[in-house]
A and B are shown apart, each in its own frame.
Chain A
Amino acid sequence: MKLTKLLTSAAVALGLAAGAAWAQDKTKVGFVYVGPVGDGGWTYEHDQGRKAVETEFGDQVETVYVENVAEGPDAERVMTQMALEGADLIFTTSFGYMDPTINVAKKFPNVKFEHATGYKRADNVSTYSARFYEGRAVQGTIAGHMTESNIVGYIGSYPIPEVIRGINSAYIHAKKVNPDVQFKIVWAFTWFDPAKEADAAKVLIEQGADVILQHTDSTAPQAAAQAAGNVITFGQASDMSEYAPKPRVSSIIDNWAPYYIARTKAVIDGTWESVDTWDGIGAGMVGIGEITDAVPAEVKEAALAIKDSIANGTYHPFTGPLNKQDGSAWLAEGEVADDGTLAGMNFYVEGIEGDIPQ
């Protein structure tokens, strides 16, 4: 009797377990982050996108994320772990994850991968990025008008095409409104290190910069600018509105949510394909944060005009005539840069001083 009872309950338990396994056809979406979700910048915005996916699909999806993943072998380990745990779709959200993503994707042909800001694709690897340089054009316009010392400081992270595009775009548009403008560029060689970013900002300010543009992820340069007083900054990746109205006078906001929702939907529907997405202000992937009252009305107007003309496609930030740094011709009058050149951009435009670290 006892044995029968035991067997029955075991059978019931087994049945329950099996039932649970069948019910588990949730789509699992993984995210690999380079910084902490609380960085207030790049990773924070990706995590907002992840939360939007959860809100949109509710019980249909399960999301997991791992933060502070170093670029390199560590990233490969994390992605493999996610794939082994049954993730259907994995977003890898930093440039340095490019090769690890391709490597892991080879081992898991049934798992879909999405790599941000890279250029290597495969049958199960898509790439996506935002045209941040469009936002940089707006920032450059404001920076050129606002600087009194004619020195604009720029904190770069790594010398990769995305960052170089940003520097070029900002410089071109600052120069357009202020021919005397000069860019001082410091490479931090990190995406996220608040103390180092703050040091870089302080150094630039000590050397006369009164506008600081950053391509690193934390809000530390904003704090340094605020402490220094008469310096303006721009929010990077996230609005960073806690530093508005000054030093933060505007920002580039990454809006990943619509893309993440669309791609998750594609996996659920079984329509996912490897694609290359590169959207800008027009498609809403790049947002321009509110331009504060610290900026004079006519400057604000000029900046918004640039923004609108980029959004409706009548103006491209890289429109000729433009020369490369060494003086050789790049774009003829009225010619527009093609996406291939932009994606692999490894040169400064004419007028910028200094060398790109190789």
Chain B
Amino acid sequence: MDLSAINPVLLIASLMVAATPLLLAAIGELVVEKAGVLNLGVEGMMIVGAIAGFATAVESGSPFLGFIAAAIAGAALSILFAILTQFAQANQVASGLSLTLFGLGLSALMGQSYVGIKPPQMGDIHIPVLSDLPVVGPILFGHDIILYFGIALTAAVWWVLKYSRIGLVLRAVGENHDAAHALGYKVLKIRLMAIMFGGACAGLGGAYISLIRVPQWTEGMTAGIGWIALALVVFASWKPWRALLGAYLFGGVTVVQLNLQAAGVAIPVEYLAMSPYLITILVLVILSADKSSAPASLGRNFHASR
């Protein structure tokens, strides 16, 4: 056992990278669910975002364009879900699941000619003095721009949901769509916007995996992160900052357990391997003891005539 082999600074820096795809997808889904829609297609939208972003980045040479394309692709796929559930009144659970299956297949098809190609690098930002600071520099000031975007997005979503008028309307639609409708709010339009926002975020999260975290394209490369994001939203009791905490915990424990293994710590590997799931759930369950509940209209379809 040699714990000195673990460099805490690099550890924290890499756990932030590991957490970002999860955070992006979870924040998007959080907004969708706050509007009363349950979209189980996060995994599908992520993987389509991953390949769309990857392909665009490779063809254009610009990772930045790749991220934009990923957001558009994720949102486009989510429109399909919106049409099915909001306009055709299809079951949300079934539609979401099929969106995931569809996304996995579509991404495999789109990605056929991109296996084994290296994407253009997205440089880390470098702030002259700050990035060179010991300890704080690599942790806080040495990342790629999307990582900061994820944190900023969390703050923005929190602020909008809590303090802005549009957040209030969104929550009203999610809590009681009939009342919101009676007050004259366009329930379907608001939900469509929320679903597209969720799709765009999931797409970004997927592209973060294929362009920065791994970086390459492989079929099925999101490997269940979309599902973890879904669970995270519930365990975070629909609160943005808890989602951030949960994502960092999950990413953090994942990286820490690999570090402990490599350092030869005498904890059985099985326990280490299950620890990210266990610890994240445990912490968030304890936090959610304040009985914050799900949006009341979550998963229920709305039709103006009823």
A207 with B5, Cβ < 8 A, contacts A184-B262, A186-B261 known:
yes
Q: How far is the CA of A358 from the CA of B261 in the complex (A)?
A: 15
List the A side residues contacting B219 at CB < 8 Å. Answer: 35-39
Of B139-147, B264-272, B279-287, B293-301, which stretch is located at the interface? B264-272
B117 interfacial contact with A, CB 8 Å = yes
Q: How far is the CA of A121 from the CA of B42 in the complex (A)?
A: 41
Contacting pair B254 A40 (CB below 8 A)? no
Q: How far is the CA of A168 from the CA of B220 in the complex (A)?
A: 31
**Interface 0/1 of A324-357, CB less than 8 Å to B:** 0000000000000000000000000000011101
Contacting pair A38 B115 (CB below 8 A)? yes
A40 with B223, Cβ < 8 A, contacts A202-B14, A207-B5 known:
no
**Interface 0/1 of B199-236, CB less than 8 Å to A:** 00000000001000111101111111100000000000
Contacting pair B215 A223 (CB below 8 A)? yes
A219 interfacial contact with B, CB 8 Å = yes
Q: How far is the CA of A219 from the CA of B115 in the complex (A)?
A: 10
What number of A residues sit within 8 Å (CB to CB) of B?
43
Contact partner, B264, options A184, A208, A226, Cβ 8 Å = A184
Q: How far is the CA of A204 from the CA of B224 in the complex (A)?
A: 23
List the B side residues contacting A207 at CB < 8 Å. Answer: 5-7, 259, 262-263
* B112 → A minimal CB distance (Å): 7
B273 interfacial contact with A, CB 8 Å = yes
Contact partner, B269, options A38, A194, A204, A357, Cβ 8 Å = A357
List the A side residues contacting B5 at CB < 8 Å. Answer: 207-208
A195 interfacial contact with B, CB 8 Å = yes
Contacting pair B264 A218 (CB below 8 A)? no
Contacting pair A68 B220 (CB below 8 A)? yes
A206 interfacial contact with B, CB 8 Å = yes
Q: How far is the CA of A189 from the CA of B277 in the complex (A)?
A: 14
Contacting pair A186 B262 (CB below 8 A)? yes
* B13 → A minimal CB distance (Å): 9
List the A side residues contacting B264 at CB < 8 Å. Answer: 184, 353-354
Q: How far is the CA of A227 from the CA of B124 in the complex (A)?
A: 13
Contacting pair B259 A203 (CB below 8 A)? yes
Which residues of B177-202 have CB atoms within 8 Å of chain A's CB atoms?
none
Q: Which residue of B lies closest to A226 (CB)?
A: B118
| Residue among B111, B218, B225 with max Cβ neighbours from chain A (10 Å) | B218
Q: Which residue of A lies closest to B112 (CB)?
A: A38
Q: How far is the CA of A200 from the CA of B11 in the complex (A)?
A: 12
A273 interfacial contact with B, CB 8 Å = no
A253 interfacial contact with B, CB 8 Å = no
B255 interfacial contact with A, CB 8 Å = yes
A185 interfacial contact with B, CB 8 Å = yes
Q: How far is the CA of A240 from the CA of B108 in the complex (A)?
A: 19
Contact partner, B223, options A185, A187, A194, A219, Cβ 8 Å = A194
**Interface 0/1 of A225-269, CB less than 8 Å to B:** 011000000000000101000000000000000000000000000
Contact partner, A218, options B108, B213, B218, Cβ 8 Å = B218
Contact partner, B273, options A35, A187, A204, A242, Cβ 8 Å = A187
Which residues of B236-257 have CB atoms within 8 Å of chain A's CB atoms?
254-255
Q: Which residue of B lies closest to A189 (CB)?
A: B273
Q: Which residue of A lies closest to B119 (CB)?
A: A223
Which residues of B70-113 have CB atoms within 8 Å of chain A's CB atoms?
108, 111-112
B58 interfacial contact with A, CB 8 Å = no
Additional pairs, 6, CB under 8 Å, beyond known A40-B116, A199-B258: A35-B219, A39-B220, A184-B263, A187-B273, A196-B254, A207-B259
Residue ranges of B at the interface with A (Cβ–Cβ < 8 Å) = 5-7, 10-11, 14, 18, 21, 108, 111-112, 115-118, 209, 213-216, 218-225, 254-255, 258-259, 261-264, 266, 268-270, 273
12 contacts between A and B (CB under 8 A): A35-B219, A186-B258, A195-B21, A198-B213, A199-B258, A207-B263, A208-B5, A240-B116, A242-B117, A354-B264, A355-B266, A358-B268
The 7 closest A-B pairs by CB, nearest first: A36-B219, A242-B116, A357-B269, A38-B219, A193-B223, A203-B258, A194-B221
